[in-house]
Copies of this chain bind each other. A is one copy, B any other.
Amino acid sequence: MGPKARIWGRPRMVVEGQLRIGTSFQLLSTAATTEIAVAAGGRFLIGDRAYINYGCSFYAGDLIRIGDRCLFGTHVICMDNDFHYEEPELRFRHPPSRPIIVEDDVWVGARVTILKGVTIGRQSVIAAGSVVARDIPAGVVAAGVPARVMRRVRGAIPATIAERDPANVPGVSR
């Protein structure tokens, strides 16, 4: 963990893999417990100035990568594994994880659920209560169950040519 970290309360940490956290990290585990679980062989990589509010649950079986200055509201669930196969006969077997990437300057609202394999592009905002089941491009506000793009983020800063071409956006963000 980088310098200037601040932790309020006692998070539940079950780290058998790699947890790397940048500078000025802030995490709350007050009114509800924030849980960080990293499986053996998994990586949970957090950039600088990240902020995680209380009641969040993270599970990294393979990879969760969170960029710089990302903000997580209360009760966010972010797990790179569903823990079960959809097929009834395979339900008790453990499926592979698929990485979750949250790019720089993303703001994840309260009670958002981020599912496996999802990338959220830089500067985007996920509205409270959303379930993110597919990639969200950069610079947008997404909302709903499942989360859909509503509009551009006010004041979003155009970044690369690729991001101006919507067809490229999901590919860029990995």
Contacts and interface: CB of A to CB of B under 8 A. Distances in A.
Contacts of A33: 31-32
A80 B31 CA distance: 18
B123 A145 contact: no
Copies held by the complex: 3
Contacts of A3: none
Contacts of A89: 155, 157
Nearest to A79: B110
Interface stretch (A15-23, A40-48, A125-133): A125-133
Interface of A: 12, 30-35, 49, 55, 57, 69, 71, 73-75, 77, 79, 83-84, 86-92, 105, 107, 110-111, 113, 115, 123, 125, 127-131, 133, 141, 143-146, 153-157
